[in-house]
Chains A and B, each alone.
Chain A
Amino acid sequence: MLKKTLQNKLIVSTLLIIFLSGLFASLAVFFYTRHALVENQKKGLLAITKEQTHEINEIFILNKELIKKISQRNELQNYLREESSFQDEKILDLLNSYVLGDSYLAIYLLNKNGLTLASTDPRFTGQNYSFRNYFKKSIVGKYFLEANIGVTSKELGYYFSAPVISSNDNRGVEGVIVIKLNPKAFERAFHLNEDVKGKLMVVNGEGVILFSNFPERNLKSLGVLSKNSQEQIEQGKKFPGITITPLVYDLAQQEVEKEKNQFIFDFFDIAENTNEFMAGAEIGDTNFYLVLEVATDFLNNQAFLISCALLLFVVLSIIFCSLIIIFIISHSFYPLREIKDIAQLISLGNFQKKVNIKTGDELEELGNSINIMIDSLRDSYGNLEFKIDEKTKELAKQLEAASKKNKVLNDTQKAVVNVLEDIQQEKNISQNLAQDLLKFQLAVENASDHIIITDPDAHILYANYAAEKITGYDRKKMVGQTPALWGKQMNKDFYEKMWRSIKTEKKEFSGEIINKRQNGEKYIAESHIIPIFKKNGGLQFFVGIERDITKAKEIDKAKTEFVSLASHQLRTPLTAISWYIEMLMNGKAGKLKKDQRKYLQEVYSGSIRMRDLVNALLNVSRLEMGTFMVEPQSIKIEEVANSLIKEMHPTVLEKKIKISKSFKDLPKEFLADLNLFRIILQNILSNAIKYTPKGGSVSFDAEKKNQDILITVSDNGYGIPKNQQKNIFTKFFRADNARIKDPNGTGLGLYIVKSVLDHSGGKIWFESEEDKGTKFFVSLPLTGMRKKAGEKGLI
């Protein structure tokens, strides 16, 4: 019995498929061949049959011609007309002149009434044959042929009859001339084709066999006679004294009786117990038939031989294919055995050996996958061992700690026993220490910020209550895991930067970070990670402190959105107000008094200030919502600066300020958002002018420095008080001296400038001394402002 391996299954099933399809093909070929042979044979047989009928027909035609010739002899007409005497010598001589050998049994002449007037066979003379079909047909003018057994002679003969027609005076048919052909002569004349290996029969219109190469069939009918045929035979006294017994070929009998031109069919001959064909064809237009009966078993033999040859071929093919398949399959299954061996090794915990299959197909892919599996199994196995190791070490540490504690206790005991006088003092010290520790522990445990301590590889050693509350993870289960448990929401760069800071640069890291609670909810945390070092400088652990600022952020956003909406809504009524003031001042409502004009001027500048504030607030809200865009385009720095300086000309003139400018090594074109670039320069320039007293000086310098564009705006104005410098970029912040000099500022300008630069890759800083002056520096990379997608520009 074969082993149930995949290989054997494949081989067996493949062979089975080949065998079954081969068998099916053989059977199909057998039946088809047989069918084709049969059809072909049928055609051939019918053709032969027809060919044979021609030969017979020729004999018949010959005799027909002869009788025709005799019937046209004038002597006969005269004789019939005169009706002199029986057996007139002249006539008899004439008739006898046509009798050659034993071909004709008799030639005789009948008068109008069927009475035989003259006959070469004297027995016929004086007999009346008016009952015969040949008389009935010829007396009405037809040539006729039939086979009968003579009433007088008792011999079978083929009767050819012809009318004797008066050629002179239209007296019509005057008698009938008859030739009785000897069947033996017919048989002699007829040559059976040697190819025909069957039974041949010549039958008449009633299906009676007149001649056969199997003489026992003579004067039997093919099958059971129809009523009509029986009547024909009786009335014409065709076979007097003979009972026509039927053979078994009823089908052929029917075909003949139906006067079919030709027929062929195959059938099972119950008399001879063989498969046979029977073909028949009419001989000329004589109503006689030639029927051929041929056995067909030899056809089956032929078909069988062909199929056997095919089957042999199939068997050989199977053997050949089997050999090839077995070779191919064993070859391709070899790698599977290797995989099996490796799998067994894996189950024994041996991860050393790898699958090495280079077949280039799916098996190689399988091998590679298994190798990957082996690697990860080995890793996780190793990890497991590592973790067990760690836990064991931890346990050892705890045990050590416990024994140390024991030791301390012992020492203390000793101390208690030995140094009684110090006991109170010692007790106080240790109590204080313990209490301090407890305080710290409680403080950390219950802090509202999330606090964790991790080892240098970020494995969590401790987590406080807030960590559990914020992240949603059980803090006991956090131990051993890494903060990736709730982290991993930021991009790779962020984490890389963080690790660089705390591990390589050994610096505290702070930043806003997006985390994910256990329930899948994301939150924003303000995160600080502090590395703690050992005395020797090595990394001891990390302390991570995080504060959930999601709510605060949301509130902030809502606030900004409100500011945006409110500012926008404020613009419309502000516009109406300033336009009405404008109309009043232009005298559209009548001429104003001096005071009225003065007050109205105040109202107008108030409304303009309000409008500027609203615009600044809108800008701030767009910056804070992150909806503003930076769209760098090619600009010329010099052009922008000149146009801004020109715009400020009225104020400069009014304050008599000296303005100087310089442009050094600038690129021809610079990529910047024109609007934002204008806002930046406009703010620092207008600040310089605003916070410089009359007659002061302001300078604008732009130059290429290393890989940056550096713009410096300096003045010799009021300066920024030292203690307020750090707040100068804060929203709404205004230095004390600035408030006094210009109460109309919004405190938003520098905040906006710094925000824009932060978002577009630039920097801003300053140097300032009170009452001496200020220098603002703006730098942007030579490559230009960084593009930022958004919905709104600033105003």
Chain B
Amino acid sequence: MFGRKKNGKVLIVEDDALLAKVLSQGFAAENFEVGVVENGLESLDMAKKFQPKIILLDLMLPGIDGFEVLKQLKESEETKNIPVIVISNLDQVSDVKSAKVLGAEEYFIKANTQLQKIIDYTKSRIG
């Protein structure tokens, strides 16, 4: 099932274990090499070490929140060129705006979005 990882590395930052699992399984099934972290602080280290092609970032995280993570990712030389897709249940227009201002490529409200849509977008973004 986990054969060739031809689609490259994706880093998932998600604190809810169940969602993290379904996302990583979903992406693995699509031939991605998946890294998962559950809090904001680790995600910064992991992004540097793992050097993913794309990052899926939740916003409501323990410790430092997703907005801060996004800001720091974009400030660091090593990670600023990695595209970030926000996946969150925060549904306010203002949240979407803030995330995009900070440099997010796309913003998906989890509850209202199909998993396949996220995967397809990721593929198109890397491909």
Contact = CB atoms under 8 A, between A and B. Distances in A.
Interface in B96-127: 110-112, 114-116
Contacts of A614: 111
Given A579-B26, A582-B114, A588-B29, A572 B19 contact: yes
A263 interface: no
Contact of B111 (A575, A580, A583, A792): A575
Contacts of B16: 572, 576
Contact of A580 (B22, B93, B94): B22
A573 B18 contact: yes
Contacts of A793: 91-94
Contact of A575 (B19, B92, B116): B19
B89 A582 contact: no
B89 A583 contact: no
A578 B19 CA distance: 11
Interface string B12-38: 000010110011011001000000000
B5 to A, nearest CB: 16
Contacts of A579: 19, 22-23, 26, 114-115
Secondary structure class of chain B's binding surface, majority of residues: helix
Interface string A121-155: 00000000000000000000000000000000000
Contacts of A568: 89
A611 B29 contact: no
Contact of B91 (A573, A580, A795): A795
A792 B92 CA distance: 7
A516 interface: no
Contacts of A675: 93
Given A568-B89, A586-B116, A615 B22 contact: no
Interface in B6-64: 16, 18-19, 22-23, 25-26, 29
A588 B26 contact: yes
Interface in A547-598: 568, 571-576, 578-580, 582-583, 586, 588
A795 B22 CA distance: 25
A575 B23 CA distance: 11
Nearest to B94: A793
Nearest to B118: A579
B93 A611 contact: no
Contacts of A572: 16, 18-19, 89, 110-111
Nearest to B111: A571
A575 B110 contact: yes
Given A572-B16, A576-B18, A611 B111 contact: yes
Contact of A583 (B91, B92, B115): B115
Interface in A757-795: 792-793, 795
B89 A571 contact: yes
Given A573-B18, A588-B26, A582 B115 contact: yes
Contacts of B94: 793
Contacts of A571: 89, 110-111
Contacts of A611: 111-112
Nearest to B21: A576
A534 to B, nearest CB: 58
A752 to B, nearest CB: 15
B110 to A, nearest CB: 5
A611 B89 CA distance: 12
B21 to A, nearest CB: 8
Secondary structure class of chain A's binding surface, majority of residues: helix
Contacts of B23: 579
A418 B73 CA distance: 109
A164 B108 CA distance: 136
B107 to A, nearest CB: 14
A586 B26 CA distance: 10
A615 B94 CA distance: 18
A576 B96 CA distance: 22
Contacts of B115: 578-579, 582-583
A615 B111 contact: yes
Contacts of A615: 111-112
Contacts of A575: 19, 89, 110-111
Contacts of B29: 583, 588
Contacts of A792: 92
A582 B26 CA distance: 10
Contacts of B25: 583, 588
A576 B92 contact: no
Contacts of A574: 111
Interface in B60-81: none
Nearest to A791: B92
A432 to B, nearest CB: 67
A578 B114 CA distance: 8
B103 to A, nearest CB: 23
Nearest to A573: B18
A618 to B, nearest CB: 8
A571 B25 CA distance: 20
A273 to B, nearest CB: 104
A583 B19 CA distance: 13
Nearest to B20: A576
A582 B116 contact: yes
Nearest to B87: A575
Nearest to A569: B89
A571 B87 CA distance: 13
Between A575, A578, A583, the greatest number of chain B beta carbons within 10 A of the residue's beta carbon is seen for: A575
Contacts of B18: 572-573, 576
Contacts of B116: 582, 586
Nearest to B19: A576
A583 B26 contact: yes
Contacts of B93: 675, 793
Between A572, A576, A578, the greatest number of chain B beta carbons within 10 A of the residue's beta carbon is seen for: A576
A792 B114 CA distance: 24
A572 B19 CA distance: 8
Nearest to B91: A795
A795 B92 CA distance: 8
A611 B25 CA distance: 22
24 contacts: A571-B111, A572-B18, A573-B18, A574-B111, A575-B111, A576-B18, A576-B19, A578-B115, A579-B19, A579-B26, A579-B114, A582-B116, A583-B22, A583-B26, A588-B26, A611-B111, A611-B112, A615-B111, A615-B112, A675-B93, A792-B92, A793-B91, A793-B93, A795-B112
Interface of A: 568, 571-576, 578-580, 582-583, 586, 588, 611, 614-615, 675, 792-793, 795
Given A579-B23, A583-B115, 20 more contacts: A572-B16, A572-B19, A572-B110, A573-B18, A576-B19, A576-B22, A579-B19, A579-B22, A579-B26, A582-B115, A582-B116, A583-B22, A583-B25, A583-B29, A586-B116, A611-B111, A614-B111, A615-B111, A793-B91, A795-B112
Task: Give the 7 A-B CB pairs with smallest separation, nearest first.
Answer: A579-B115, A571-B111, A588-B29, A576-B18, A575-B110, A579-B22, A582-B115
